[in-house]
Amino acid sequence: MEFNVTDISELITEKLSNWAETLIGILPNLVLAVIIVVIGFFVAKWIKKWSLRFIRKVSHNITLNNLFASIIYFIFIGIVIFTALTILNLDKAVSTALAGAGILGLALAFAFQDIAANFMSGIFISFRKPVKVGDVVEVKDYMGKVIEVNLRDTVIRTFEGQTVIIPNKDVFQNPIENYSHLGKRRFDLSVGVSYGDDLEKVKEVTLNAVKNIKELSKSKGDETTMFFEEFGDSSINFTIRMWISDPEQITYKKVGSQAIMNIKKAYDDNDIMIPFPIRTLDFGIKGGEKLSEMQVNIADGKNLDS
């Protein structure tokens, strides 16, 4: 098959002419679309700045504030671009592309649903603030101090020194014990005294023993209380409850240690006994027989009277 140079030249000229006519025909729309895009980008920056200023009045989480401001910015940019493409009569092609992107997005949502759940949980945590950096908390059997709250996870440093990263979904969906929320913390100490001791005296001596611990809260309603709770096997048991003005773990442990030392010393000074557990050992085949009346079997099989 032979190609005629003249025919090729005419074909190229015709195509270029058609393109030129099409370009001239859409030139006003193209100029308008470019103007809309340029103005739209400037307006989007202004909207992002304004929205960030407004969001900061509601939330003090810098990461979350920037995230929402960026989302608003990109939504507005998307509207501007879609408007420009509509002016150029390309909106149908864009709609088809968006439909395909929606199906792809749905598939990705199923694939990354855990990541999405952690992300959304992080947003709710940032608004509700059940935990803050510096709080002493217990989440999912992990107790320690919160050192970081991200959009995907919460980082806790345990009192043993380990760093634990907990997904925000687990933080949001599980009970949280926040020991710092009230700004104070209660220490409960269980003690038992002998059945022969005067309980009124025990109560007075015990309360006096701990009242001068300086870390205890002096606020109204935070008084140290003591309640006898049960008749134990070898002691009468009670619990003394003390409110600590500082929720930090080191203060909590310090108060507990000081209370134990003070109570032990006070009991020694006032002849109050903390009894050892009592166990009765029965060496008889039948209950109630005396050990002195029992025969002892030794290794060679001989029986010796005690």
Residue 89 belongs to domain with CATH number: 1.10.287
**Is the domain of 46 the same as that of 107?**
yes
Residue 233, in any domain of the structure: yes
- Number of neighbouring beta carbons within 10 Å of residue 242: 23
**Is the domain of 196 the same as that of 251?**
yes
Which residues on neighbouring strands pair with residue 177, listed in sequence order?
Answer: 138
Residue with the bigger pLDDT between 19 and 205: it is 205
Residue 244 belongs to domain with CATH number: 3.30.70.100
Q: How far apart are CA 232 and CA 193, in angstroms?
A: 10
Counting the structural domains of the chain, the total is: 3
Q: How far apart are CA 233 and CA 277, in angstroms?
A: 8
pLDDT of 306: 44
**Is the domain of 24 the same as that of 45?**
yes
Residue 289, in any domain of the structure: no
Residue 76, in any domain of the structure: yes
| CA nearest neighbour of 48 among 60, 65, 62, 64 | 65
Mapped onto helix, strand or coil, the DSSP state of residue 299 is coil
**What tokens does 182 get?**
């009230």
Give the percent of the chain with pLDDT over 90. 33
Instruction: Using the 3D structure, point to which of 111, 145, 162 is the last residue of a domain.
Output: 111
Mean pLDDT, rounded, for 90-112: 60
Q: CA-CA-CA-CA torsion for 62, 66, 69, 70, nearest 10 degrees? A: -170
Mean pLDDT, rounded, for 127-147: 88
Residue with the bigger pLDDT between 289 and 175: it is 175
Instruction: Answer whether residue 286 shows pLDDT above 60.
Output: no
**Is the domain of 163 the same as that of 200?**
no
- Number of neighbouring beta carbons within 10 Å of residue 65: 20
How many residues appear in the chain? 306
**Is the domain of 67 the same as that of 147?**
no
**Is the domain of 220 the same as that of 258?**
yes
One-letter amino acid at 196 equals G
pLDDT of 173: 85
Q: Range of 226's domain? A: 185-269
Instruction: Answer whether residue 213 shows pLDDT above 80.
Output: yes
